[in-house]
Amino acid sequence: MVFFAALLVSLIVICSIIWFVVLLNKNREYFKKIAGPPPVPFFGNVFEVSSTTDLLDVTLKFVREYGGLFKICMGPIRKVIVVSDYKFLEAVLSSTKILNKSYEYNNLRHWLGTGLLTSDGPKWKKRRRVLTPAFHFQILEQFIDVFESNGNKLIKKLRKKIGERGVDIYPFVTLCTLDIICESAMGTSINAQFDDNSEYVRSVKAMCKIIIERLFNILQLTDITFPLTQNYYIQKKSLNILHTHTNNVITRRREELLNKKKTSAPVNEHVVNGVGDYEISTYKNKKAFLDLLLEATVDGRPLTQEEIREEVDTFMFEGHDTTASAISFALYCLANNADAQKKAYEEQLTLFGENKSPHMSYAALQSMKYLEMVIKETLRLYPSVPFYSRETDEEVEINGISIPKGVPIIIFAYGIHRDPTHFKDPEKFNPSRFEEIDGKHPYSYIPFSAGPRNCIGQKFAMLEMKSTISKILRHFELQPASPECRPQLAAEAVLKSTNGIKISLCLRQ
């Protein structure tokens, strides 16, 4: 008996060693040819890239030392390549073969399942086809009222901050964009701006935090050791709240559609669903993304409850922090660049005169050309998603180099956006540069990614950002915080600033 037990243990140990050695040597020849910072035995380069606050500077330093394509060893086994080289980015992003997401997206799957952002292969293809019509301009046009009404709430809240010398605008903007995406995606209002302590809002915040903390904490990294940490239990509770909320909204909306209960004027119905209180807004002829999902079919059948939930949750995750980061950094840039702010405000005067609350239309938002360049330049300097990644699922050849199956490719958007070969005076905030360069080099300006797996929500995001920023500009003159407060950038799930994004607000007369 003892003999067999010892034999079994020995076999397990031997198999583990073989498995480890196989993984250790996987793609060894390929990685040998790629430059990169020297790894520390066993740990690789993890100590150099172990904090969200150092990540951007350290990676930029590696770009200067090793060029636009280098490797990083994340421990003894996992190696990734980091790319900010134009030709390589073009080949990767435009490829119809490198469409899968890498291991780093696993943490998201607990919340989002395999929705559009996190799915791979044929599933992703089908979902993308189903969801694309939801972003047609005729659909997007319907959301302008949602942007405007939630933007008005934001103005109300910011009015209370007039005269303060350094207002961190990020938390205010985040709650506003959370309200916007909730109403657009689910047709429900959670009123986060006036109830930021609701269970749903707290759970969204908790999940966004845990997803990134797990990437940098050795105990939280794998699902095996994660249950030993407190975050596991916070995640469990948060997921329960988030999934129950979305499920309840879907069920209710499904019933509503079945009963054709739609009315002509917006009706706000107060609903208590056992998870938290929220309001359902129903508009005649107005559709939330959820309605489109309820009507959609895949392979001739309607989407299941779980499939719909995955997509609604994906919009909730991908559609609020990204726009909040971009809007906040744009306001910071305008506050610190008086000329750009003057031009952007003059554009508003030309369009609406002194009217601070004009009726907003799709055409008016489209005609805010200078503001659009301000947003583009902000996203160049402060891309909401500074890193994103792919993984090869078969051997591919790029620029004459053969890349084996299973190689994670980290796309360093922040890096190429600050490359002087593509952007003159890259550190300078200069919206007008887009008059010349717009669309000329589609793979050097990639805040929304590019190619088949680009951001499906970018047009929605641009309209939302224009609506919100233009409203703020018409109401307030933006000034730098006093004393000046430069953002300390942190590459979390989206780009953030550890010391806030601070400006001062003066009421325009």
Size of the site for ligand HEM (CB under 6 A): 23
Q: Which candidate, 32, 187, 153, 55, places its Cα nearest to that of 492?
A: 55
Q: Are 308 and 480 in contact (CB under 8 A)?
A: no
Query: In the set 415, 448, 476, 505, which binds ligand HEM (CB under 6 A)?
Result: 448
Enter the DSSP assignment of 142.
Answer: G
The DSSP result for 350-367, as a single string, is: HHHTT-SSPPP-HHHHHT
The residue among 370 and 388 lying less far from ligand HEM, judged by its C-beta, is 388
Binding mask 376-405 vs ligand HEM (x if CB under 6 A, - otherwise)? ---x----xx--x-----------------
Query: In the set 84, 248, 281, 449, which binds ligand HEM (CB under 6 A)?
Result: 449
Instruction: Classify burial at 176, counting beta carbons within 10 Å of its beta carbon; exposed 0-12, middle 13-18, buried 19 or more.
Output: buried
Q: Are 136 and 292 in contact (CB under 8 A)?
A: no
Query: In the set 68, 187, 447, 487, which binds ligand HEM (CB under 6 A)?
Result: 447
Shortest separation between residue 407's beta carbon and ligand HEM, angstroms: 16
Shortest separation between residue 468's beta carbon and ligand HEM, angstroms: 11
455 is in an annotated binding site: yes
Query: In the set 192, 312, 456, 472, which binds ligand HEM (CB under 6 A)?
Result: 456
Instruction: Work out the angle at residue 390's Cα, subtended by the Cα atoms of residues 239 and 454, and round it to the nearest 5 degrees.
Output: 80
- Indicate if the alpha-carbon torsion angle 228, 233, 238, 243 is positive or negative: positive
Residue 75: CB atoms within 10 Å: 14
Query: In the set 80, 108, 326, 505, which binds ligand HEM (CB under 6 A)?
Result: 326
Shortest separation between residue 363's beta carbon and ligand HEM, angstroms: 21
Query: In the set 55, 63, 91, 117, which binds ligand HEM (CB under 6 A)?
Result: 117
Q: Are 321 and 384 in contact (CB under 8 A)?
A: yes
The residue among 241 and 469 lying less far from ligand HEM, judged by its C-beta, is 469
Residue 348 CA to residue 466 CA, distance in Å, equals 11
Residue 469 CA to residue 478 CA, distance in Å, equals 11
Shortest separation between residue 418's beta carbon and ligand HEM, angstroms: 16
Shortest separation between residue 460's beta carbon and ligand HEM, angstroms: 5
The residue among 337 and 389 lying less far from ligand HEM, judged by its C-beta, is 389
The residue among 345 and 460 lying less far from ligand HEM, judged by its C-beta, is 460
Q: According to the binding rule CB under 6 A, does residue 343 interact with ligand HEM?
A: no
Q: Are 45 and 72 in contact (CB under 8 A)?
A: yes
Binding mask 286-315 vs ligand HEM (x if CB under 6 A, - otherwise)? ----------------------------xx
Enter the DSSP assignment of 164.
Answer: -
Q: According to the binding rule CB under 6 A, does residue 461 interact with ligand HEM?
A: yes
Residue 222 CA to residue 215 CA, distance in Å, equals 9
Q: According to the binding rule CB under 6 A, does residue 492 interact with ligand HEM?
A: no
Q: According to the binding rule CB under 6 A, does residue 460 interact with ligand HEM?
A: yes
Binding mask 204-243 vs ligand HEM (x if CB under 6 A, - otherwise)? ----------------------------------------
Query: In the set 72, 80, 116, 140, which binds ligand HEM (CB under 6 A)?
Result: 116
Site for ligand HEM in 143-202 (CB under 6 A): none
Residue type, 478: L
Name the pairing type of β-strands 396-398 and 476-480.
unpaired
The DSSP element (H or E) to which 482 belongs, if any, is: none
Q: According to the binding rule CB under 6 A, does residue 248 interact with ligand HEM?
A: no
What distances in angstroms separate CA 199 from CA 75, 216, 311, 366, one per listed residue?
37, 26, 21, 36
What distances in angstroms separate CA 315 from CA 102, 178, 246, 252, one per listed residue?
20, 10, 12, 19
Shortest separation between residue 289's beta carbon and ligand HEM, angstroms: 7
Q: According to the binding rule CB under 6 A, does residue 323 interact with ligand HEM?
A: yes
The residue among 83 and 456 lying less far from ligand HEM, judged by its C-beta, is 456
Q: According to the binding rule CB under 6 A, does residue 453 interact with ligand HEM?
A: yes
The residue among 48 and 321 lying less far from ligand HEM, judged by its C-beta, is 321
Shortest separation between residue 495's beta carbon and ligand HEM, angstroms: 9
Instruction: Classify burial at 45, counting beta carbons within 10 Å of its beta carbon; exposed 0-12, middle 13-18, buried 19 or more.
Output: buried
Binding window for ligand HEM (CB under 6 A); candidates: 49-57, 254-262, 356-364, 444-452? 444-452
Residue type, 467: S
The DSSP element (H or E) to which 497 belongs, if any, is: strand 495-497
Q: Can you say which residues are annotated as belonging to the binding site for heme?
A: 455
Q: Which residues bind ligand HEM (CB under 6 A)?
A: 116-117, 128, 314-315, 318-319, 322-323, 326, 379, 384-385, 388, 447-449, 453, 455-457, 460-461
